Amino acid sequence: MVALECVSDESGVSSYLAILGSLIRTERDVEELRSRRILFSTMSDQRTAEFFEALMDPLPRQELYLRTLEGIVHLRARGG
């Protein structure tokens, strides 16, 4: 799906993966996201963290991703 988005104007899946990947740096991050039912994976926490680390570099940053990050920054500035 990400490959398809690279040649179209749609970027929902890529943007979602990029935002999720920006939250994951370690196994503990994966564990936290699983405990909050944000992330579901059949892989181990370590393997999931490695997957997102490998995914982040080649993943295109498209407009939806950037707009979503701007919204997050805006909400955090408001204390939300």
Please tell me the total count of domains within the chain.
Answer: 1
**Is 14 within a domain?**
yes
**Is 49 within a domain?**
yes
Q: Can you give 60-78 as a three-state secondary structure string? A: CCCHHHHHHHHHHHHHHHC
Tokens 């950037």, located at residue: 66
Residues 69 and 67: their CA atoms lie apart, in Å, by 5
User: Which whole number is the average pLDDT over 45-73?
Assistant: 77
**Is 34 within a domain?**
yes
Indicate the average pLDDT of the chain: 78
Residue 14 confidence (pLDDT):
72
**In the predicted structure, residue 8 carries a pLDDT above the cut 60:** no
**Is 50 within a domain?**
yes
31: which 2 tokens? 């564990």
**Is 42 within a domain?**
yes
Q: Residue 2 — very low, low, confident or very high, per pLDDT cuts 50/70/90?
A: very low
21 with 9: CB under 8 angstroms?
Answer: no
User: Which whole number is the average pLDDT over 46-62?
Assistant: 80
Residues 31 and 77: their CA atoms lie apart, in Å, by 27
**Is 13 within a domain?**
yes
User: Which whole number is the average pLDDT over 53-63?
Assistant: 69
Which range of residues forms the domain containing residue 34? Answer: 7-75
